[in-house]
Amino acid sequence: MQEFLSKEQRSFMSDTVGESPKVEERRKTFFEKICRCLTVDHYRIYFDVTQEQVLGRIKKSLFPFTGQPLFEDGKIDLYAPFWVYISLNICMAIFGVLARSIDQAFDEIDYETSIEPHKMAKSYAFLLLYFVVIPAGLYGVLTLLSDESPEYAKILAVYGYSFAIFVPVTFTFLVPFDTARWVFLIVAGIISLWILFKELVMNGMEYMEEYKIYFIGGVQCFLHVVFILFLKYYFFV
Amino acid sequence: MTDYPKELDQKIVLGNTNTGRSNPSYDPEKGRESLAKEEQEKFDTLTEPVCETIKRDLLMIWVKLTYVMVPRTMIKEKAKQLRDWDLWGPLVLCLLLSLCLSFSANTDDGTLVFQIVFIIVWAGAAIVAINGQLLGGNISFFQSVCVLGYCLFPLTVAAFVNMMFLQFVYFFIRVIVVGVAFIWSSYSSVGFIAEMVVPEKKGLAAFPVFLFYLFLSWFILL
């Protein structure tokens, strides 16, 4: 085809054919020249999902006992984990205040019933620990303890989806009974741990020795207990 | 002008080769000069009176606000206007909203509430824009800030009404006022943002916008 085109027309058919390296270099943005990981394009592969896929994965993370893997096609996404993080923060702020208002009506005690900005800032930092830092720690431990480990993006995605159950649990804090709130929190903790176990252990760590898996599992259970206690005694009074 | 590569000069000379149309007699040097002159005349506002400049900017803000206030305007019309983005309107609305909420808050937390609302508006708009780009959409950061900022208008009005008249009224009435403002803001902005991505991802682009206005609505209520 190209032999039928004039020299000028050939240079228009493709952005790269006939282009000098200097022009190609100039077209790269500043961030692209430093490192591709500073550009939006680098992360697009983790957001290449449709709304049906995301809804399907959220449903599986709310009820993970069907036996189906979370990422059926093997393609992980970070859209839902990121927005679960933001949604959980917002729900903790809103329903924390509402729960205190309900407790005030039932217990006839004066609680703080306006938004507490300092608690909101702390919730963002606290949840960042669970959504980013602890997965990084787990990735480091798995890399040290074995030759094969799931990639960091997969661990991030699985953690994000495992905490999705806590978003509807924050709604249940409108129920004015303390026992009911504890039951919902414990059930959510079990579901979250089951998702981590199913996705990371059953589908990724089967090559590891049992005692290592038990050790990592024990640490994860402890971290989830800390999370539930913080949720109950700090953010929801 | 001499920095442009030769290939671009050839494009101006030969025109759009894909359609076969071309204008070989078009002189690239003359073309660039006349284009530069037109652009200069368009932006040469140094000699006009200050009140003229302010009047023009206020009119531009008002026109964009009318597109937000009447969401039934055709999406394409709205898109055309809002693509010509500006940040004056979003800045004014964000400042008004932050001031209203800081006056309504306790005296100890007033400054903190102002800071939080201000940061949330700008950071939230940035996150929505990045989210749209990550989903493969054709949305620029400033367009997103412009759309979300102008669509704050109903919530700003609700915050003002809440501060002036509804402080000691039943909570239920305040919920209705803020709820209407929230639905109005979301409806105005979601259509524009969702148009920027493919149909299979519209919900994914619209959800953050919904969350953004929900959070601000709760801030106004509480």
Q: A93 touching B, CB under 8 A? A: yes
Phi/psi for B12 (5° steps) reads -65, -40
Give yes or no: residues A75 and A41 share one domain.
no
- How many domains does chain A fold into? 2
The owner of tokens 């393609």 is A75
Assembly ipTM: 0.79
Give yes or no: residues A57 and A172 share one domain.
yes
Give yes or no: residues A26 and A132 share one domain.
no
Out of A82-86, A147-151, B4-8, B110-114, the most confident range is A82-86
What pLDDT, on a 0 to 100 scale, did the predictor assign at position B212?
92
Q: A171 touching B, CB under 8 A? A: no
Give yes or no: residues A189 and A137 share one domain.
yes
Q: B79 touching A, CB under 8 A? A: no
- Which residues on A lie below 8 Å from B113 (Cβ)? 117
Give yes or no: residues A136 and A167 share one domain.
yes
Contact by Cβ (8 Å): A89, A124: yes
- Residue A6 included in any domain: no
What pLDDT, on a 0 to 100 scale, did the predictor assign at position B106?
66
What pLDDT, on a 0 to 100 scale, did the predictor assign at position B178?
92
Give yes or no: residues A133 and A182 share one domain.
yes
- B42-62 pLDDT per residue, tens: 556 677 788 888 888 888 888
> Is 90 exceeded by the pLDDT of residue B211?
yes
Query: Which of the residue ranges A28-42, A114-128, B125-139, B173-187 would you say has the lowest mean pLDDT?
Result: A28-42
> Would you call B17 and A114 a contact, using CB atoms and an 8 Å cutoff?
no
Whole-number Å distance between alpha carbons of A113 and B90:
30
Q: Average pLDDT of B80-105? A: 83
Whole-number Å distance between alpha carbons of A214 and A194:
14
Backbone region of residue B122 per phi and psi (left: phi > 0; alpha: psi in -120 to 50; beta: other values): alpha
> Would you call B14 and A9 a contact, using CB atoms and an 8 Å cutoff?
yes
- Residue A126 included in any domain: yes
Mutate to test the interface with B, among A1, A12, A104 (most CBs of B within 10 A): A12
What does the block give as tokens for A174? 């409108």
- Residue A133 included in any domain: yes
- Residue A104 included in any domain: yes
What pLDDT, on a 0 to 100 scale, did the predictor assign at position B16?
39
> Would you call A86 and B211 a contact, using CB atoms and an 8 Å cutoff?
yes
- Which residues on A lie below 8 Å from B17 (Cβ)? 8-9, 12
> How does pLDDT run along chain A (237 residues), one tens digit per residue?
444 445 445 445 544 445 455 555 555 666 666 677 777 778 888 898 899 999 999 999 999 888 788 888 778 889 999 999 999 998 988 888 888 888 777 665 555 556 677 788 888 889 999 999 999 998 888 888 877 778 899 999 999 999 999 999 998 888 888 899 999 999 999 999 999 888 887 766 666 778 888 888 899 999 999 999 988 888 775
Of chain B, the percentage scoring pLDDT greater than 70 comes to: 72
Mutate to test the interface with A, among B4, B7, B113, B119 (most CBs of A within 10 A): B7
Give yes or no: residues A133 and A40 share one domain.
no
Give yes or no: residues A158 and A224 share one domain.
yes
Q: Give me the DSSP letters along B62-113.
A: HHHHHHHH-TTS-HHHHHHHHHS--SHHHHHHHHHHHHHHHHHS-TTTHHHH
- Residue A1 included in any domain: no
> Would you call A44 and B136 a contact, using CB atoms and an 8 Å cutoff?
yes
What's the domain range around A16? Answer: 11-47
Give yes or no: residues A56 and A39 share one domain.
no
Give yes or no: residues A31 and A97 share one domain.
no
Mean pLDDT of chain B: 76
Q: B119 touching A, CB under 8 A? A: no
> Is 90 exceeded by the pLDDT of residue B180?
yes
Gyration radius (Cα) of chain A, Å: 24
Choose between A154 and B140: higher pLDDT: A154
What pLDDT, on a 0 to 100 scale, did the predictor assign at position A114?
64
Q: Average pLDDT of B123-144? A: 87
Give yes or no: residues A131 and A179 share one domain.
yes
- Residue A4 included in any domain: no
A and B: number of Cβ contacts within 8 A = 72
- Which residues on A lie below 8 Å from B112 (Cβ)? 117-118
> Is 70 exceeded by the pLDDT of residue B122?
yes
What does the block give as tokens for B188? 């105005």
What pLDDT, on a 0 to 100 scale, did the predictor assign at position A119?
80
What pLDDT, on a 0 to 100 scale, did the predictor assign at position B50?
83
Contact by Cβ (8 Å): B219, A115: yes
- Long-range contact pairs involving B23-26 (C-beta distance under 8 Å, separation at least 24): none
Its pTM stands at 0.77
The CA distance from A157 to the nearest CA of chain B, in Å, is 16
Whole-number Å distance between alpha carbons of A117 and B61:
32
Q: A54 touching B, CB under 8 A? A: yes
Give yes or no: residues A30 and A82 share one domain.
no
- Residue A2 included in any domain: no
- Residue A203 included in any domain: yes
